[in-house]
Amino acid sequence: MSLDVKQRLIVALDVDTRTEAERLVEALEGQAGAFKVGMQLYNSEGPEIVRSLMQRGGKVFVDLKFHDIPNTVVQAGRVMTRLGVFMYNLHVAGGQEMMRQTVAATHEEAKAAGVNPPLVLGVTVLTSITPQQLREEIGVDRDLTEQVVKWAKLAQEAGLDGVVASPQEIQAIRQACGPEFLIVTPGVRPAGSQLNDQKRVMTPGEAIAAGASYLVVGRPITGAADPAAAAQAIVQEMDKAGR
C-alpha cells in the first residue's frame, strides 16, 4: 500500500447525534483518512450526516452491512453511489448473485452520475464472534479462519474491492486474495486499552504489519479524553509498523 499511513485510519463515529459527530470531527481534523458512519448515527441522522461530513471535505465509509435479496441490496447500493460515499459494505453471507449484481449496479450508477464508484466491501465474520459462537450458535462447522477466507474469495470472485475482517485473519486473506484486495479491519485495540465487545483483536501496529489496508477504530479514539492525541498515537504506531 502506498497510501500515506494517516489515510489508512478510519474513525468510527458511533454516536447518536449530529452535534456529537461534528464535535468529534472537529477535534479530529487532519488526524484520519475517513470517518465511518454506522447504523447508530445513520439511523438517527440519515443521509444528511453523510452529506455534511463530505461537505467538510471528509471521506465517508457508510457501514450499514446490507444483507437482503439481490434487488434490495442493488437499489441500496445505487443510493450509496449517488450519495457519493467513499466505501459501503454488504454481508458476503447474502450470496454471490447479490454481490455481483450490486457491484455491477454501483459501477453503472457511478458512470451515469459522473462520479467515482464507491469501494464495495464484504463483511465476513464479525469481529465480536468467537470460534465457539460460530460453531454452536451460527452452526458453521468450518474453522473460523477458513470460513473468513472462503467468504473473502467469494467476495473477490464477485468483483468486490475487499472485505471487512478481524486483524487475526489478515494474513490468511492476503495469501488467498493477493496484495491488491482491500482488507479493512475493525477489532483494533492499542495495547492496554479496553476490548469492549470485541473478541478477535490486534494492536494497530500488528494489524498493519499483518497486511491490513485500512484500520477502523472507534471507542479507543472517540472515548478518549483527547481524541486527537489518541488518533495521533495510533497513526504513529501504524507508521512504525510501516508496510
Q: By C-alpha distance, which of 107, 87, 228 is closest to 159?
A: 107
User: 90-108: buried (b, 16+ CB within 10 Å) or exposed (e) per residue?
Assistant: bbbbbeeebbbbbbebbbe
Q: Establish whether 199 is a catalytic residue.
A: no
Q: Candidates 103-111, 136-144, 153-161, 214-222 — which segment interacts with ligand C5P by CB under 6 A?
A: 214-222
Query: What's 121's DSSP letter?
Result: E
Toward ligand C5P, which CB reaches closer, 94 or 220?
220
Residue 14 as a binder of ligand C5P (CB under 6 A): the answer is yes
**Does the protein bind ligand C5P through residue 216 (CB under 6 A)?**
yes
175 Cβ contact list (under 8 Å, min separation 6): none
The least CB distance from residue 100 to ligand C5P, in Å, is 22
Q: Which residues in 31-93 belong to E strands, given as ranges? A: 34-38, 60-66, 87-91
198 touching ligand C5P, by CB under 6 A: yes
Q: In the range 97-156, which residues lie near ligand C5P by CB under 6 A?
A: 123, 126-127
For residue 2, with 0-12 CB atoms within 10 Å meaning exposed, 13-18 middle and 19 or more buried, which class applies?
A: exposed
Binding of ligand C5P by 24 (CB under 6 A): no
| Options 59, 65, 111, 199, the catalytic residue | 65
Please tell me whether residue 105 adopts helix, strand or coil conformation: helix
Nearest Cα neighbor of 204 from 196, 216, 219 is 216
| Cα–Cα distance measured from residue 132 to residue 19, given in angstroms and rounded to the nearest whole number | 39
| 217 binds ligand C5P, rule: CB under 6 A | yes
Among 164, 170, 173, 230, binds ligand C5P (CB under 6 A): 164
- Nearer Cβ to ligand C5P, position 109 or 148? 148
Beta carbon of residue 209, minimum distance to ligand C5P (angstroms, whole number)? 19
Burial call 31-44: b when 16+ CB within 10 Å, e when fewer:
bbbbbbbbeebbee
Per-residue binding string, ligand C5P, 50-89, x by CB under 6 A, is: -------------x--------------------------
Please count the other Cβ atoms lying within 10 Å of the Cβ belonging to residue 72: 14
Q: Is 12 near ligand C5P (CB under 6 A)?
A: yes
Do the Cβ atoms of 113 and 81 come closer than 8 Å? yes
Task: Return the C-alpha cell found at 118.
Answer: 464507491
User: What is the smallest separation between the CB atom of 195 and ligand C5P, expressed in angstroms?
Assistant: 9
For ligand C5P, the nearest residue by Cβ is: 218
List interacting residues with ligand C5P (CB under 6 A). Answer: 12, 14, 38, 63, 123, 126-127, 164, 186-187, 196, 198, 216-220
Catalytic residues: 65
